[in-house]
Each structure stands twice: as C-alpha cells, then as structure tokens.
Amino acid sequence: MRVTLFGLRFAAFRDSSGAAHVLADTCIHRGGSLSKGWIKDDCLVCPYHGWEYQGDGACATIPSQKKGKPPARAKVDSYPVDERYGIVFAFLGDLPENERPPMYEIPQLGQEGWRASKPMVNEIGCYMERAIENGLDPFHNEFVHPSQGKPQLIDGSMEIEEFPYGTKFMARFGEIDDKLTGLNELRSDPAQLKAGSWYYGPNTLVTDIQFNGVNNFIQYAFEAPIDETKTRTYLVNLRNCMLDPELDEQVAKINQKVALEDFAILENLWPIRTPDSMHKELLTEGDVILVRYREHLEEWRQKGWQIDRHALREAGCDTAYAIPCPGRRTSGNWILDPVPLLRSANS
C-alpha cells in the first residue's frame, strides 16, 4: 500500500511471515510506483518492469538482465519498523539504532484495571504542528469543548515538568456546564478534576483526564504529517472505568465527538502552517507549553532533523527524493536523491 508522509511517497508491505516493511515508493529503474505492485517470494515487485525489491530495499531480481546479479546500486531506502499498539511505526531517518529517540511507551497497556480501545484513525485538514499545539493549549477547552462541560483552567494550578524530548503540564479545571455524555462514570468532582497534556518528540501527544480522583481517561495521539496541509492521527484511548467491552463503541463515540470539536477549529486556521517566527503571533503566558514545543522543534531543526519544505516544494515533480535510511551510513552509490533538509548555522 502507498503511504504519503511529508509529501513523500512510501510503500508498505508484509512478507510471508507477517513482518512489515517500509520502502521508498520509487523504483530506481524508470520511476515505477512500488506500492502499486505485488508481493512475490517476500519481495515487492515493481508493476512497470518487474524488478523485485526485498524488505531491506535491495533489488533481488531484474527480469531484463539475463546474466549476473543486480548491481549493488540497485536498491531503494528501507526504514526500520516497530509495530505496536496496532500501528506500524517507521523510523524515517538515517540515525543508527543507538542514537534514535526511543519509542514512546504506553505504561497502562496490558495493566490490570485498564482497557484500551482499538486505534482510531482520523485525517485532518491541518498542519501537524497545529494539531499538536492544540492539544497543548489548556485555555481552548472552555470555548471548543461543550461535550466535556467547557472545562476552565483554575488560575495558578498549572504544574510544568520537563523530560527528554518533551514537556508536560497538569492543572486543575472547573466545568462551566454539565458534560453532554450523561454518564455517571464521567461526572467530575470539582475538588479533584485534573487534566494535562504533554508532547514527546515532534508528533506524539498525550492527554490525561482525571475526573474525580479515581476515574481516568488517557489518550495517546500519534500524528503522521501527510503533507503541509493534512495530518493523519492515530488515537489510542485507555480508561480505568467503564471496562465492559460492550461499552467500547459508546466510549469511542465520546472520544470522536471531542476530536471533531477540535477538527472544526484546526481545519479553519490561517495560515495553515505554524509561522516560522513566534513574532508573527501575539503569544501570551497561557501559551507557555506550546512555546516550549516550538523551542524543542528549533533544537531538533538545528540537528538537521527537519525537511526543507520550501526546497521540496520548489523541486515539484522534477526530482524523486527519498529520506535517507540507515543503510546510507554504511553503503554509497544511491540513485534517489536525499531529501533537502534544513541545516543548522554550524553545518
């Protein structure tokens, strides 16, 4: 299947053992789309001329070449894969394993007294950074979320915590109206209602809602930037109440209703993308967490971890780019051009 991320095309497939693989979606022969091909002997076959690519990206067979093995440069980028939570994650970069940020762990998963939903997948017409910042904003809830009772931040209650690759806040809230769910399990105790959010890396967002000191909802959002205007979000929701499996659908509808309230705002923001400078918006003390998020983004940008979207846009349809995979650190002579990156001033 084809997956688009950062405006680039990738081909995802499973071999006969069920293992997932993610490759650059461009055959280096004549530009065929590998994602439109088929699986043969655990290889992905290009539908244009039948070149067969292994899960590691190496071309195993070239039908038109009658003698000898395919040349060493007959290869496409192949990305490390980690499958968990019902989601296939691919590391899109060339860092060796010991230098990569670790995958985010969901500690409640599989624990007694917690129930996890199946991943909810939504496609939003907004820039990924906008979606993350929305979740880090404690002040939007009273205006955007009537289904949650319009929760209002209680002044002076916010606590902030820094951790590797992220920042977290927890705060006390009061509800202006009653929730629209009508469920006793989700009724809030005004003295104990707490909620907070945190980000991990550029595209993982966690939201923790503690209704009454006992009942708790936690949502893990893994955001995949399709391009500059669209984001695919994978939501893993956990709860320690309403544990009956028959309630899964009802809980999913509650979570989706809240998500749709956010989408209605996010899909109408202008400009679509986060401004390159924080001076282009009038930020206040209530934006402290999203400011920290932007500072982290700048730190990662200085490491050369961000695609130069302007250069990518200017190239248009003239160049087949690939995000360099770890294999490029150990071998050379690649056909596909490396995607342009934003470099630090010291690069």
| pLDDT tens sequence across 202-258 | 999 999 999 888 899 999 999 999 999 999 999 999 999 999 999 999 999 999 999
> Is pLDDT of 191 > 90?
no
Percent of the chain exceeding pLDDT 70 equals 97
Q: Average of pLDDT values for 306-324? A: 94
> Is pLDDT of 110 > 80?
yes
- For the record, the structure tokens of 105 come out as 């762990």
pLDDT band at 347; cut points 50, 70, 90: very low
Distance, CA of 52 to chain centre: 30
Sheet with strand 78-79: strands edge to edge? 2-5, 8-14, 20-24, 78-79
CB of 116 within 8 A of CB of 238? yes
Query: Which of 142, 138, 123 is closest to 260 using CA atoms?
Result: 123
How far apart are the C-alpha atoms of 10 and 2, rounded to whole Å?
6
Q: Where in the chain is the domain with CATH 3.90.380.10?
A: 115-296
Q: Average of pLDDT values for 293-309? A: 95
Residues in a beta bridge with 207 = 197, 219
Q: Where in the chain is the domain with CATH 2.102.10.10?
A: 1-100+306-347
> Is pLDDT of 346 > 60?
no
Query: Is the model more confident about 100 or about 344?
Result: 100
pLDDT tens track for 113-125: 999 988 999 999 9
- Which helix (H) or strand (E) segment holds residue 299: the answer is helix 288-302
Q: Mean pLDDT for the chain?
A: 94
> Is pLDDT of 289 > 80?
yes
> Is pLDDT of 345 > 60?
no
Sign, Cα dihedral of 253, 113, 168, 195: positive
The 8-class DSSP code of residue 103 comes to P
Residue type, 248: D
Assessment of whether the complete model's pTM goes beyond 0.85 = yes
How far apart are the C-alpha atoms of 92 and 84, rounded to whole Å?
17
Cα→Cα distances 230→123, 130, 184, 267, Å = 7, 11, 36, 9
Matching residue, tokens 């932007």:
294
pLDDT tens track for 47-73: 999 999 999 999 999 999 988 899 999
Work out the widest C-alpha separation in the chain, in whole angstroms: 77
Question: pLDDT value at position 333?
Answer: 94
Question: Which fold would CATH assign to domain 115-296?
Answer: Naphthalene 1,2-dioxygenase Alpha Subunit; Chain A, domain 1 (3.90.380)
> Is pLDDT of 182 > 60?
no
Write down the CATH superfamily of domain 1-100+306-347.
Rieske [2Fe-2S] iron-sulphur domain (2.102.10.10)
How far apart are the C-alpha atoms of 204 and 216, rounded to whole Å?
20
> Is pLDDT of 267 > 80?
yes
How far apart are the C-alpha atoms of 320 and 347, rounded to whole Å?
24
> Is pLDDT of 286 > 60?
yes
Query: Is the model more confident about 181 or about 170?
Result: 170
- For the record, the structure tokens of 308 come out as 């130069």
